[in-house]
Amino acid sequence: MATTNAPELLTTQFATPEEGRSLFDAAARRELGMSGEEFIRRWDQGEFRDALNGPEHVKLMRLVMLMPFGRQDA
């Protein structure tokens, strides 16, 4: 087993608003084939509530968890 105990990359990393929106946009396109902006708009309109109990549940939950990245203000 090739293991090491160094180096440790523990520099602080907070996403800037642009980085956060880019992260969430990439996730929304990866999971559901739509932009992050479109997902947040449709989520806020309650469009995905029923889908949370369906086969897309796991993908939707990944996006729900990442949504704070996409909601960062400029």
Q: Shortest distance, CB of residue 31 to other proteins, whole angstroms?
A: 9
Asked whether position 39 contacts other proteins by CB under 8 A, the answer is no
Asked whether position 74 contacts other proteins by CB under 8 A, the answer is no
Q: Shortest distance, CB of residue 64 to other proteins, whole angstroms?
A: 5
Asked whether position 52 contacts other proteins by CB under 8 A, the answer is yes
Query: Which residues have C-beta within 8 Å of that of residue 23, sequence separation ≥ 6?
Result: 15, 66, 69, 70
Q: Compute the distance between CA of residue 62 and CA of residue 68 in angstroms, rounded to an integer.
A: 12
Asked whether position 67 contacts other proteins by CB under 8 A, the answer is yes
Q: How far is CA 17 from CA 9, 20, 23, 34, in A?
A: 23, 5, 10, 19
Asked whether position 54 contacts other proteins by CB under 8 A, the answer is no
Asked whether position 34 contacts other proteins by CB under 8 A, the answer is no
